[in-house]
Structure 1
């Protein structure tokens, strides 16, 4: 029994590549436990109506403030573009889950699922940039030229598109292990970076209750970001050791949609966090000014 099945591979199991018009829809297969699928689709449409305008606003603010932009803004910009693309999928996803029996449109959805699967890579870049600014400010200052960040963003996009294209094919043996490794590595990296940042900021004052106001705001901001990372990305990570304890039907129609519904909703939470903290996004770390929004 496989340890992990993500969105596309679950849908392949439900919708074989040679499906015919006489086969059942995903909703029909899960008709005995439809509540979570309905919740998932509702969450996806909220994600579309909230995430698209929020991410567009993020793009507009970054463009408007480009002369006073953060070093992390290049990654935030690309993450917003990726999330906008993913937020366009709910109508097609609704049609495929509830109405359509053809497998052809799943190729399109699998490509967009591949884009979303790779979003932790951009989040990891943001967390790395913030980690360097707080923990290694001298090195960060020496690397303040953003050329290497643009190169890193291009490499992430190439990796993302290659992953999404491979996922779109849908018949690569053991390909789900790529997602397993990627999400586990990114989750662990982001949590480690943010915990280290919190520790450094907490230790930055001469006393336990004497932190500089700017650093205190940075501390609270990173704490919120860490909570969101855990909320959005811990559920699929938590499935790894426990999938075998669920029946295939329960995992396919219930556990899967809970975990990935929360992960997908990060497309709305991330830009809303950026927008809510945009006015309070700078702190002083030594002689280096950093943006703490992720």
Structure 2
């Protein structure tokens, strides 16, 4: 029988406790004094399932449809969509585990999928890196425009993701929570760095230009969107968990914990919706240009 240490931040940073010492109580019963956030969290998970799955499938379809005229970052967006679809399949099991089940066996399955989701910033970092090279080092970007190295990088990220998820599934690795914290902090710092450098590069785009070059402007917006996702979805766990001692154990376990991870998990819906919105805007612009051409 695994042990649930209330004061161990590892269990929270690892996304869920390994088990509990409350007898046969479910997680919902343990948090019955603070049920609102738990209900909110489960609501976000089911939004992920009902909205995130079709949105990510549409992303996959658009990438496949436009593969002849796709951006170099689409290969990473494709893999990120696949990762999010896998994660969005677990809400029914999570609902049953939180509200009805007291067994620890389901945590192994859930922790594996949580591990997959924890690694999603790696694909976001790859997208940001691709945009950074395109804007700051255009000559190098042109030389590396073939997608073979991007495919290799995507495979490497998947190997890291599966290894991390398997290790998280085991659940008893000492100081494993530091891997998650380091990964999120590194991804966040990398996104900020890329965004600042790209902004600086765009402002140096040339004397006498009132507007940014369309290609650079599109790259800047892509990195800015990725940065927004990182800040909104992935930074809360890193920002809140270091202050665990300032909260009571029950408040942290039943409130802070689910607020942080609820926002993080919701990226499975936000990311594809933002991508689809961008594609819709581009489609509208193309239609307007076509209509203007016909009128002329």
Q: CA shift at 1:221, angstroms?
A: 4.6
Structure 1 residues 84-120: Cα deviation after superposition (integer angstroms, max 9, x where no partner): 0000011111111111001111110000000000000
Q: Which runs of 5+ in 1 are unaligned?
A: 283-294
Q: CA shift at 1:279, angstroms?
A: 5.0
1:164–1:216: structure 2 CA closer, same or farther, 3 Å change rule? closer
Give the aligned partner of residue 51 of structure 2: 50
Query: Does residue 1:149 correspond to 2:155, yes or no?
Result: no
What is the rounded CA distance, in whole Å, between the counterparts of 1:228 and 1:92 in structure 2? 26
Q: CA shift at 1:207, angstroms?
A: 5.3
Give the aligned partner of residue 285 of structure 1: none
What is the rounded CA distance, in whole Å, between the counterparts of 2:225 and 2:125 in structure 1? 16
Alignment match of 1:11 (pick from 4, 17, 30): 17
Give the aligned partner of residue 291 of structure 1: none
Give runs of aligned pairs for residues 75-114 of structure 1, distance below 5 A.
75-114=76-115
Give the aligned partner of residue 252 of structure 1: 253
What is the rounded CA distance, in whole Å, between the counterparts of 2:73 and 2:203 in structure 1? 22
Structure 1 residues 218-251: Cα deviation after superposition (integer angstroms, max 9, x where no partner): 5445434322321111211202432221122111
Give the aligned partner of residue 267 of structure 1: 268
The 3-state SS of whatever aligns with 1:242 is helix
Native 8 Å contact 2:41 2:262 kept in 1? yes
Q: Structure 1 length normalisation: TM-score?
A: 0.87
1:281–1:239: structure 2 CA closer, same or farther, 3 Å change rule? farther
4+ aligned runs moved over 6 Å, structure 1: none
Query: Does residue 1:229 correspond to 2:230, yes or no?
Result: yes
The 3-state SS of whatever aligns with 1:225 is helix
1:135–1:214: structure 2 CA closer, same or farther, 3 Å change rule? closer
Give the aligned partner of residue 28 of structure 2: 27
Please tell me whether Structure 1 or Structure 2 has the larger radius of gyration of its CA atoms: 2
Mean Cα displacement is larger for which, 166-175 or 190-199? 190-199
Native 8 Å contact 1:4 1:239 kept in 2? no
Native 8 Å contact 1:191 1:229 kept in 2? no
Native 8 Å contact 2:79 2:154 kept in 1? yes
Give the aligned partner of residue 74 of structure 2: 73
What is the rounded CA distance, in whole Å, between the counterparts of 2:109 and 2:10 in structure 1? 22
Mean Cα displacement is larger for which, 205-214 or 85-94? 205-214
RMSD: 2.2
Give the aligned partner of residue 3 of structure 2: none
Mean Cα displacement is larger for which, 243-252 or 54-63? 243-252
Give the aligned partner of residue 292 of structure 2: none
Give the aligned partner of residue 118 of structure 1: 119
Q: Structure 2 length normalisation: TM-score?
A: 0.87
